[in-house]
Amino acid sequence: MSGPSDSGAQRADETDVVPVPAELRAGRRRLGRGAETGDAQVIALATADSVPAPRPGMPLLRQRRRELRGHIVDGKLDAVRRQHSLGKLTARERLALLLDEDSFLELEPYRRHQATGPGLAANRPHTDGVVTGSGTIDGRRVFVYAQDFTLFGGSLGEAHAAKIQKVLDLAVANGAPVIALNDSGGARIQEGVLALNGYGGIFRRQVEASGVIPQISVILGPCAGGAAYSPALADFTFMVRDTARMYLTGPDVVEAVTGRRVSHEELGGADVHGSHSGVATVVHDDEHECLADVRHLVSLLPSNYLEQPPVTAPTGAVEDYRPKLAEIVPSEPNQPYDMRDVFAEIADDEEFFELHAGWARNVLCALARVDGRVVGLVGNQPVVFAGVLDGPASQKAARFVRFCDAFGIPLVSLVDVPGFLPGVEQERGGIIRQGAQLLHAYCEATVPRIQVIVRKAYGGAYIVMDSRSIGCDLSLAWPTNEIAVMGAEGAVNVLHRRDLAAAADPAALRARLVAEYTEEYLNPQYAAERGLVDDIIDPAETRAAIARGLAMLREKRKPGPARKHGNLPI
């Protein structure tokens, strides 16, 4: 509110006569004495040039600033209406949902491009199509940028890229997560190579930040061409159905090259990346739900690799008895059940945050809390392909294991795996290399690692699922565990092929040999007697045993070998 003094200052700014310095008055006298007839015009011009124009006072400057800032924040109303008509929120509306109320500090809102390409010289909006800055989520610092589709279609130019690069630099320097809200048509064509150079600077910073701070990308509109690599480099990528799409080459290019017509949704929609490519970590139906889930994910993550994830109050897990676990898992090794039900019995409040729920569903990866502390859960899923490991499942689990290890999150692996998926397609698709990725990830991990063998653990898949031999710290097994090169049926068929072929009653002989093999090699104590299992536990004690094990391993320190880095079999 302006008071009398403010209005007085305003009038003075507009009407007061500017005092003339003594030096200028002396100059006027000298000019006056030496002037001939007709020199008056010259004297007047000299005097006018020497007197500075009145400068606006602070009240007027404040008013101009408020008006400009309001114009920047409000945006172009017709463009905002078009954005809403597409079922999308604006960049600032999204930030308001994502961040704590009144916590957003915007950076470089007045930034404008300096390009002179076709149609750009006369069109230089402030922000240059991206809103950048920092705020808090549940009181914890994060850095953010939100591309603004209402300006240049959110396309990236030199100034746009520079703002994003600054946010990434600040996030690393402050050890805080960075969240990208993507809604962009791609590189700004009029800026040519400068736009491509901007993308390169962003990608380089993302790679340098990998394993240093958590990176989250949220796709809320188009994300085409080179822009698609940014979400691929992030730790987590969220997508919204119907409005989000991500691809390197659009439908027109695909049709021109292959002759096949596809829609944007068929080519790079949320369900495509959530179920087939594996690029999308989480898929949602609307932006409100999506951004709420991003906030939830942040609550489970550390701010950087030197910090621990937020800890909540202990829940008494070390003494928690869960008899339902014995009911969930059938004793028969071939009977299916949902490993999610096991996850729920282990996690505090039966809550866990599943990642890649629609992709490679034969393995589960989730973040949860056990006794108030965040853990990473990995488990085979018997209701999908009997829980076998294949190429995508191996890659999915490997990526998750490496993330947890990078940010100090302990790993708990729940094993019920019949082996790797056999077949010509799997072998030609590189299952050896893909399985080696999971093996490499576990072997490299230095965080606390607990293995729980729920039922069967056969062949190379047993080794890969964090067995004692590759470095797990604590191996627990249920009384239903079967650890062997293969199941009894398969082993008997291999070992006694000739005897079975020559037998008068092959079925009876097979049944007897299977029973003998099971008793000899698949009994629950076989691995424990040889030191490959630390304890055989009652299924109802699983949550308590995991909580006690994590408490025991909390101060684990295991430096890696002296080297630049390993060579992951990607």
- Please list the active-site residues: 225-226, 460-461
Q: Calculate the dihedral angle through the C-alpha atoms of 226, 184, 222, 205, rounding to the nearest 10 degrees.
A: 40
Helix ranges (DSSP H) in 178-316: 193-209, 229-233, 251-258, 264-268, 270-272, 287-299
456: left (phi over 0), alpha (psi -120 to 50) or beta: beta
Task: Tell me the C-alpha distance between 57 and 15, whole Å.
Answer: 12
Residue 267's φ and ψ, nearest 5 degrees, are -80, -45
DSSP state string for 107-123: E-TT------STTTTT-
Phi-psi sector, 381: left (phi>0), alpha (psi -120 to 50), beta: beta
8 A C-beta contact, residue 547 and residue 371: yes
Give the angle subtended at the CA of 377 by the CAs of 373 and 381, to the nearest 5°: 155
**How many other CB atoms are there within 10 angstroms of residue 174's CB atom?**
14
Three-state DSSP state, 157:
coil
| Single-letter residue type at 501 | A
334 CB contacts (<8 Å, ≥6 apart)? 386
Name residue, tokens 């569903």. Answer: 361
- Cα separation, 48 vs 31, in Å, equals 14
Q: Are 457 and 415 a contacting pair, CB within 8 Å?
A: yes
- Rg, Å, the chain Cα set: 33
Which amino acid type is present at position 564? K
**Alpha-carbon gap, residue 39 to 28, rounded angstroms:** 12
Using DSSP's 3-state secondary structure scheme, residue 222 falls into: strand
Task: Report the amino acid identity of residue 241.
Answer: R
Report the alpha-carbon angle 232-238-243, nearest 5: 105
> Contact at 8 Å (CB) between 347 and 369?
yes
Interatomic CA distance for residues 466 and 475, integer angstroms: 9
Distinct helix (H) and strand (E) counts, the chain: 24, 16
β partners of residue 328: none
CA distances to 42, 240, 243, 327 from 264, in Å: 71, 14, 10, 46
Return the structure tokens found at 502. 């020559």
